[in-house]
Structure 1
Amino acid sequence: MIVGTAGHIDHGKTTLVKALTGTDADRLKEEKARGITIDLGFAYARFADEAITGFIDVPGHERFIHTMLAGAGGIDYALLVVAADDGIKPQTTEHLAILDLLGVSRGLVCITKADLAPPERLDELAEQIQLLLAPTTLKDIDILPVSAASGWNIDALKQRLADAERATTAASAEGRFRLAVDRSFTLSGAGTVVTGTVLSGSVAVGDRVTISPPGLSARIRSIHAQNQQAERGVAGQRCALNLAGEGISKDAITRGDMVLDPTLHAPTTRIDVELSVLDSEPKPLSDWFSARFHHASAETGARIVPLEGPVAPGSRGKVQLVLDRPIATTVGDRFILRDVSAQRTIGGGRLLDLRAPLRKRRTPERLSFLDAAALSDAGEALRAMLDTSPYLVDLQAFAQDRALSEAQLQSAITSAAAEIIESPSGRHALSAAHRQQFSDEVQTLLATFHADNPDLQGMGRERLRLQVTPRLPAPAFLTALRAEQAAGRIILEGAFVRVPGHEVRLTGQEEEIYGQILPFLQGEDRFRPFRVRDFAENLGLDEREIRRVLKLCARLGRLDQIRHDHFFTRQTTAEMVEIIRDVAAKTERGEFTAALFRDRVNNGRKVAIEILEFFDRQGITIRRGDLRRINPHRLDLYSGETESTAGVVSGKD
């Protein structure tokens, strides 16, 4: 269990921690000289069997509230300290408001210096404290008078802490590892050490981690968990990690950084949140209101963009936070906002979406999506998000933003009864209803297209993708279409899609003309085919009729019209794509010239350039100056119609 102190300056927080643990948490020379806590202090003690209770002692002075916030984010139990002689003071109220905004619900109020006050004063102060606690998450906690100087009730306090330690449920270590750094220093003979509270998951000696947002990679050399040497640190513990790696130093890692599982490294500067504004605020928060953002041990400037109108004092609303610098965080984490002059706490709340959009951020669809994302259970959130526009969830982003392990993600998928589409672009989830809607819309759109265009081979794949709901990324869309083809509902023909019953046929005379032309488009000269007028001269046919038949065959997918006068069979076009892939693969950077391609197909420079420009238009190749490279995302246009259709499975299986 991690216990955090809270309360006004000079109310005896550090003295009380020393009485409980035997450790003076004021470690800095200036702290001892001035007799006040300036930075976070730490101490440990055993109250319940072998369990180790950790204490974070925070400053009480108003100038150091930002430091208090750096320690308050990971506590399990609050020790709110009020001096009997001084009573409730400004930082008592502000610290309590912060604990309330952070959702801390377990704790105890200690009336310190209680041996110096008469019983009636203690009773009066207890009543005042109860009124102060009433509207907060700590409304049900007890009040205990103590004296660190005389030792009065210290044993009773230790027993309360022992009971709380036994009642503390071990935090789940199933999620991915995150530790909020509050100190970074160099230890002689060891190197760089960082300390902080483990917010989720676990880490072991030898594991690779990333320091975010800087993106430094490190290896765990050793671990101290709850002030003891350990092989593993888990969620809910205070840990010291000895790190090794290129660029790792005490100056490279600062308070506010996060040590985390490398898969979670995705710092952000734009976050949609649910914000509660304290009723002490003088006026509503409107567009571009400036504030200081506090999350875990991080602090940065922020601008507030309300999403549902100005947020009034004492109310709650959705807002977008635009941060001055990137931070590493997770959906569901708590945050605090203070004013830019660091004189008051404005409010706080929960993070809802780490990938907040710049545009269309206030639409009803967007606000409904945030309502879904606000659900704390991952499975319930996923189910709700799948029923909200855009009706599609990128599972990698979903798991990353919530620090979910693969097992937790699979559990959420099962709970949401989600359908999964796996493709080169990743895993995407949609509900069973929207998966069926997708299939139905494909059928409807193709039927309409065929009715309007009876002489065309089929509908362009990209055109179809942009009209179907939910709109899938191109690789996922192709995977879904292949599943539709495997079920016999559609036929894929290169870049075109049609229903099985639709077929455009040539007349007998047109087939005869095509049969005469085809031999000239195949064989050794397939990369150097005749022009239309050459066919007319060799076959003794009308040039306009030959051009009409060739264009009709191109619409049917038998041929590709490279230029006005040049046609290639679809098989030859696919063969040239493979040649281009081979040419590019043999160059140092995957870039090639027209001359390299021309030499492989052994045709003229002009025709080779015409062919490459055709591939440029289709997106197969990307040109920069005289060089081209392959676009791997478009190669499937000529990959054939017999590729695997696997990839669509049910999350219920």
Structure 2
Amino acid sequence: MGRQNVIVGTAGHIDHGKSALVERLTGVHPDRFKEEQERGITLDLGFAALEIDETTISFVDVPGHEKLIRNMITGATGIDIILFAVDATEGIKPQTIEHADILSVLNIETLIVVLTKADKVSEDLLNRRLSEAREFFNRFTYPYKRFLTVSIYDQHSIDNLKKTLYECSGLISSRYTSHDFLMRIDRSFSVKGAGTVLTGSCITGQIKTGDDIEILPAGIQTKVKNIQVHSKNSLSASAGDRAALNVTGVDKNNVHRGDIAAAPKVFSPAASFYARLKTFSSISKKDVIKHNKSYRFLIGTYAGEAKIILLEKKSLNAGESALCKIVPYKPYTPLFGEAFFLRSLSPQITVAGGRVLSITNFGLAKNNLLTLLSCMENGKAEEAFKVLETNIEGTFDIPTLIQFTDKKSDEIKHLIKKYFISAGRTVTPRKYFSKITDMAKEEIYSGNTVSLSGYHKYFKNSENIWKIFRENLIRLAEKNGYTYENEKIFKKRKSEHEKLADEIYEKMSQDVSLSNAANLSSFLNISEKAAANALTILANKGKVKKLDEKNFIRTDIFDNFIQLAVKTAKQEQYIDLKKAKTIIKAPRKILIPLIEQLDKTGLFTNKDNKRYLKGDETAEF
């Protein structure tokens, strides 16, 4: 299976044995606070780890009672496997149902349902509880489900659970993939003599001691002094790890639960974002989701109020869904596909869940935005890019990959190249770029003097895209005989000398023997001085190449000869005067200096007037 880190989240009704089960598996009780030990419940997230071969299985043991459901949602975010505890003496309970509804939103593929306290019931009751559990959990579409009975006093059942956890660890596929580090922060505290420590689950990438990180949304820049992974000192932490980062120069009071620690200048906090929202089928009529109303909003390790703006309807009844805009009371840094939950403010029950589809509207009109969100939701990345290309004029930034899509990097790079002109993460649609280019070309070709500064407004939000447009336009203009000077493009009248040079250039393509001033003078009935002056103009423009003291050849013909000479030498071991005649029809006065030019390329070695490609000199010997 190879080295991997797996996060297992435990869930279930209060006192159904989750913490005791984790302690039996790992030897570590996940309750961290004295109050928890005294009350016998898990108030906040508890963490413990189990090592099996090369797999580290971290357990996120979360609360099971209603008042602390917020922490349960926090612990459920970022996990790979759900370990769901159901007390065999009690069976399915109210928070069993609520936890199951919440977890069904998280896109976790593997569910292990464990009937705990199996030693306290009869075999008949245990089998009945197992059947009830199967019936209840089979309503949910987890690709992988396992059902086990366990007693913490039965080593065989504990070993069987460990084996199942290890086997399920090999089934994980739905993780965020990015080389850039991101950790969801769930605690910030000070350690005497060390400073501020941030703890959380590493979602993507890797962090090493001494690395710079950024704390978002505040944008605080800091450096990592020390790292602990699963309570042990480490030089690094990676995706899947539970980590504690000791950072420099940061006041613990300036870092909050729900913030992220991340690679600098990569991720973008959002004041609002767009999502698919679905109400749970178990909610009552009075708990319907209403347009433009605020709810308790829970995502990642973040909890606070958010306004819900429904984009397709005015309200959502039980079991209904809609696209929506979410406006949290402070910025958050969401990832594409990240799950979130809504709880009513009174009474406090979890009423809906959803998944993030976009952290920006890209300036699209509502109908186009709905089309884009639908494409993103259904994995139609190319169709989404077509919506952006067709409906956006100007420049805009594409978010970093895992905030934008769940597609592979190579696929997205290909689509960006296909539909956009890009400079880093800033892009402009190719259709728009072509439209402005055509507008400028029309003005240039009309004979007017065109000021480039007049086109800056079309790309004013990105100097890098403007630079690409400007250089492309200058290149097109010069290729078509226009002049660029002082940020202006215009048609410069050619002198008689330049007109003659253009005529000679055309004649040299028809007959390579027209290679010197004397030949050209005789052929065109002009003075040798005029012909020589024209050749100098062409040489200065790089249009012709000087072969010897008298003779010139068009640069494009020369370059083609070099390419064919290399090909001939590869195929026939060498090239000489005779073989050169098969490449280009020219008199000896041209062929001899052409052959000699091969020596100046650095590609050939001359032996007895035969030119061998370097490295192949001994081919005949």
TM-score for both structures, normalised by structure 2: 0.69
> 1:193 is matched with which residue?
197
Alignment pair present for 1:483 and 2:487? no
Q: Quick one: distance in 1 between partners of 2:259 and 2:278?
A: 25
Flag the 1:388–1:120 CA change in 2: closer, same or farther, 3 A: farther
> 2:98 is matched with which residue?
94
- Report 1:31-430 matches (<5 A): 31-46=36-51, 48-138=52-142, 140-151=144-155, 153-168=157-172, 174-245=178-249, 248-264=250-266, 266-283=268-285, 284-310=288-314, 311-341=316-346, 343-356=348-361, 363-374=366-377, 380=382, 383-384=385-386, 386-390=388-392, 394-395=396-397, 397-399=398-400, 402=403, 412-418=412-418, 421=421, 428-430=426-428
Q: Which stretch of the first structure deviates more once superposed, 66-75 or 190-199?
A: 190-199
Q: Quick one: distance in 2 between partners of 1:215 and 1:154?
A: 45
Q: Displacement, 1:194? A: 1.6
Structure 2 counterpart SS, 1:413: helix
Q: Displacement, 1:187? A: 3.0
Deviations 1:70-129 (A, max 9, x none): 111011110011111111111111111111111112120001111222233223222322
Deviations 1:301-338 (A, max 9, x none): 00111111234432332100111112222333222222
Flag the 1:287–1:501 CA change in 2: closer, same or farther, 3 A: farther
Structure 1 counterpart SS, 2:290: coil
Alignment pair present for 1:21 and 2:26? yes
Are 1:291 and 1:338, in contact at CA under 8 Å, matched by a contact in 2?
yes
Are 1:385 and 1:391, in contact at CA under 8 Å, matched by a contact in 2?
no
Q: Displacement, 1:196? A: 0.9
Q: Displacement, 1:31? A: 1.0
Are 2:359 and 2:404, in contact at CA under 8 Å, matched by a contact in 1?
no
Q: Quick one: distance in 1 between partners of 2:172 and 2:230?
A: 15
Q: Displacement, 1:178? A: 0.7
Q: Displacement, 1:170? A: 10
Structure 2 counterpart SS, 1:70: helix
Letter in 2 for 1:367: L
Relative contact order, higher structure (CA 8 A, sep 6+): 1
Deviations 1:267-292 (A, max 9, x none): 22211112222223345533212211
Structure 2 counterpart SS, 1:327: coil
| Runs (5+) with no aligned partner, structure 2 | 1-5, 495-621
Are 1:173 and 1:202, in contact at CA under 8 Å, matched by a contact in 2?
no
Flag the 1:345–1:459 CA change in 2: closer, same or farther, 3 A: same
Flag the 1:474–1:496 CA change in 2: closer, same or farther, 3 A: farther
Q: Quick one: distance in 1 between partners of 2:296 and 2:49?
A: 31
Q: Quick one: distance in 2 between partners of 1:306 and 1:128?
A: 37
CA RMSD of aligned residues (A): 3.5
Aligned positions, number = 483
Q: Quick one: distance in 2 between partners of 1:464 and 1:205?
A: 44
> 1:584 is matched with which residue?
none
Letter in 1 for 2:476: A
Are 1:465 and 1:477, in contact at CA under 8 Å, matched by a contact in 2?
no
Q: Displacement, 1:341? A: 3.2
Q: Displacement, 1:380? A: 4.7
Letter in 2 for 1:135: R
Letter in 2 for 1:399: T
Structure with greater Cα Rg: 2
Q: Quick one: distance in 2 between partners of 1:102 and 1:120?
A: 34
- What is the identity percentage for the equivalent residue pairs of Structure 1 and Structure 2? 29
Structure 2 counterpart SS, 1:256: coil
| Runs (5+) with no aligned partner, structure 1 | 504-653
- Report 1:572-587 matches (<5 A): none
Letter in 2 for 1:413: K
- Report 1:437-476 matches (<5 A): 437-440=435-438, 442-443=440-441, 457=449, 462=454, 476=465
Are 2:205 and 2:238, in contact at CA under 8 Å, matched by a contact in 1?
yes
Alignment pair present for 1:8 and 2:35? no
Structure 2 counterpart SS, 1:264: coil
Flag the 1:143–1:404 CA change in 2: closer, same or farther, 3 A: closer
Are 2:396 and 2:428, in contact at CA under 8 Å, matched by a contact in 1?
no
- Report 1:494-573 matches (<5 A): none
Q: Displacement, 1:443? A: 4.5
> 1:589 is matched with which residue?
none
Flag the 1:110–1:483 CA change in 2: closer, same or farther, 3 A: same
Letter in 1 for 2:412: A
Are 1:177 and 1:199, in contact at CA under 8 Å, matched by a contact in 2?
yes
Structure 2 counterpart SS, 1:263: coil
> 2:559 is matched with which residue?
none
Flag the 1:221–1:376 CA change in 2: closer, same or farther, 3 A: farther
Q: Quick one: distance in 1 between partners of 2:41 and 2:310?
A: 39
Q: Quick one: distance in 2 between partners of 1:32 and 1:429?
A: 55
Flag the 1:315–1:43 CA change in 2: closer, same or farther, 3 A: same
Flag the 1:465–1:442 CA change in 2: closer, same or farther, 3 A: farther
Q: Quick one: distance in 2 between partners of 1:460 and 1:282?
A: 63
Q: Quick one: distance in 2 between partners of 1:324 and 1:375?
A: 29
Q: Quick one: distance in 2 between partners of 1:93 and 1:131?
A: 13
Q: Quick one: distance in 2 between partners of 1:491 and 1:14?
A: 78
Q: Quick one: distance in 1 between partners of 2:241 and 2:97?
A: 28
Q: Displacement, 1:210? A: 1.2
Letter in 2 for 1:195: T
Letter in 2 for 1:334: A
Q: Quick one: distance in 2 between partners of 1:337 and 1:187?
A: 35
Flag the 1:262–1:256 CA change in 2: closer, same or farther, 3 A: same
Q: Displacement, 1:368? A: 2.2
TM-score for both structures, normalised by structure 1: 0.66
Q: Displacement, 1:208? A: 0.5
Flag the 1:502–1:275 CA change in 2: closer, same or farther, 3 A: farther
Structure 1 counterpart SS, 2:271: strand
Q: Quick one: distance in 1 between partners of 2:388 and 2:13?
A: 47
- Report 1:630-641 matches (<5 A): none
Are 1:332 and 1:376, in contact at CA under 8 Å, matched by a contact in 2?
no
